[in-house]
Amino acid sequence: MIDTRRLRTLRAVADHGTVTAAAAALHLTPSAVSQQLVALEHEVGHRLFTRDGRGVRLTAVGKIMLSHANEVLAQLERAEAEVAAYTTGEAGEVTVACFATAISAVLSPAIAALRATAPGLRVRVLDAEGDHSLALLLDGRADLAITVEYRGAPDATDPRLSRRPLYAEPFDLVLPRDHALAEPLNPALPLDPAPPLAAPTGPAPPLAASIDPAPPLAVSIDPAPPLAASIDPAPPLAVSIDPAPPLAVSIDPAPPLDEPVALVSLAGETWIGPYPGNPVHDMITFACQQAGFTPDLVHCSDDFRAVVALVGAGAGVALVPRLALRDMALPGVVVRRTPGPERRVFAAVRRGSDVHPLLRPLLSALRTVAESLGNG
């Protein structure tokens, strides 16, 4: 009988490429990981890994074992979910790894709604970007990840994950207010204030007639009804989830008050954006390369407020996800539309765990909030 803990170790080493990295993810020592692999190879009767530079790679038998390990571990997730549904219901804690913008846009409103619909559910949030959130999920340190599609990310066919598309978010171009392309979004609202009205010269002409004042109206103001001592909770959200993954919500752009700015017109600019390794950095770079140039990213910050502040200071231009600009003060900048990149945001759980009684209501609440983004 093969120990399922060794199957988890097999998958961790295959995911991370080295025994040391897998050990860190599993909270084990490298020697303990090596011992589990040796024991698994003894049970199987074949080598599962071979040396590959400083790391290891799967042998042909190792690939067969990994495929079956994914199936076995997914089935175990389903079994644990059914047992949890029978014994605990919707009471317990869920850990969510999520990037900052989605925490504000979808996760926080979902948590607020769950306080009324699933009061026994506690949500613990870990701020994590890109591949880090998926690593936390696959290593068992998170139960759900909210992340974006990016080059090199696990795709929808990954046997380890079940994905739920949430929304698709366009990027907007942020320019210094004095930039040559920083035309106002609404031509009816000029940047420069309107000239003051000319003051009248000479005395005003006398009125032709005397108008008697109308008798004063008697106004009775009823006092406002007293406020209720308690605030009723918001109407509950539906907690059922369809078996098929929902379509991603597309966030409608602002009304087309101006013509989009072509990215190629900014080829010679100084750019501001996230650090390399951040999925947004890759999206911006790829979009600019598709337009025929590589952006000169001089200033780097993963905080979009800092990015916008630098643009306002005249340090450069930036592409920023639309939801990151929502409710943000925008002094000294103008936001323009551009046919640039779009980031697709999805929720992911380990395959088999999407039927867990603690994950079902959370996934449903996230979907409800995401659908509202397309109308807001």
CATH number of the domain bearing residue 184: 3.40.190.10
What are the residues whose beta carbons fall under 8 Å from the beta carbon of 289, sequence distance 6 or more? none
Dist. CA 373–CA 263, nearest whole Å: 26
Contact of 260 with 339, CB cutoff 8 Å = yes
Dist. CA 276–CA 280, nearest whole Å: 9
| 59: in domain | yes
Dist. CA 309–CA 238, nearest whole Å: 40
Q: Tens digit of pLDDT for each residue in 87-103?
A: 666 678 999 999 999 99
Query: Residue 190 class from Cβ within 10 Å (0-12 exposed, 13-18 middle, 19+ buried)?
Result: exposed
| 26: in domain | yes
The CATH number covering residue 22 comes to 1.10.10.10
Mean pLDDT of 174-193: 66
The CB density around residue 233, as the number of other CB atoms within 10 Å, is 12
Q: Residue 206 pLDDT more than 60? A: no
Of the two residues 213 and 70, the one the predictor is more confident about is: 70
pLDDT given for residue 83 in this prediction: 76
Last residue of a domain, one of 57, 87, 117: 87
Confidence grade of residue 177 (pLDDT, cut at 50, 70, 90): very high
Number of domains into which the chain is organized: 2
Q: Tens digit of pLDDT for each residue in 6-54?
A: 888 888 899 888 998 888 888 888 888 888 888 888 888 889 998 888 8
pLDDT given for residue 219 in this prediction: 39
| 253: in domain | yes
| 24: in domain | yes
Confidence grade of residue 1 (pLDDT, cut at 50, 70, 90): confident
Mean pLDDT of 333-350: 91
Q: Residue 105 pLDDT more than 80? A: yes
| 351: in domain | no
pLDDT given for residue 236 in this prediction: 38
Q: Residue 64 pLDDT more than 70? A: yes
Confidence grade of residue 152 (pLDDT, cut at 50, 70, 90): low
Q: Which domain holds residue 296?
A: 171-188+247-342
pLDDT given for residue 98 in this prediction: 97
Dist. CA 42–CA 37, nearest whole Å: 9
Q: Residue 187 pLDDT more than 80? A: no
| 131: in domain | no
Q: What global pTM score does this model have?
A: 0.63
Confidence grade of residue 158 (pLDDT, cut at 50, 70, 90): confident
Q: Residue 234 pLDDT more than 70? A: no
Distance of CA 333 to the CA centre of its chain: 24
| 213: in domain | no
Q: Tens digit of pLDDT for each residue in 294-311?
A: 999 999 999 999 999 999
- Do 55 and 177 lie in one domain? The reply is no
Of the two residues 233 and 30, the one the predictor is more confident about is: 30
Mean pLDDT of 214-232: 42
- Do 65 and 177 lie in one domain? The reply is no
Per DSSP, the three-state class of 296 is: strand
| 354: in domain | no
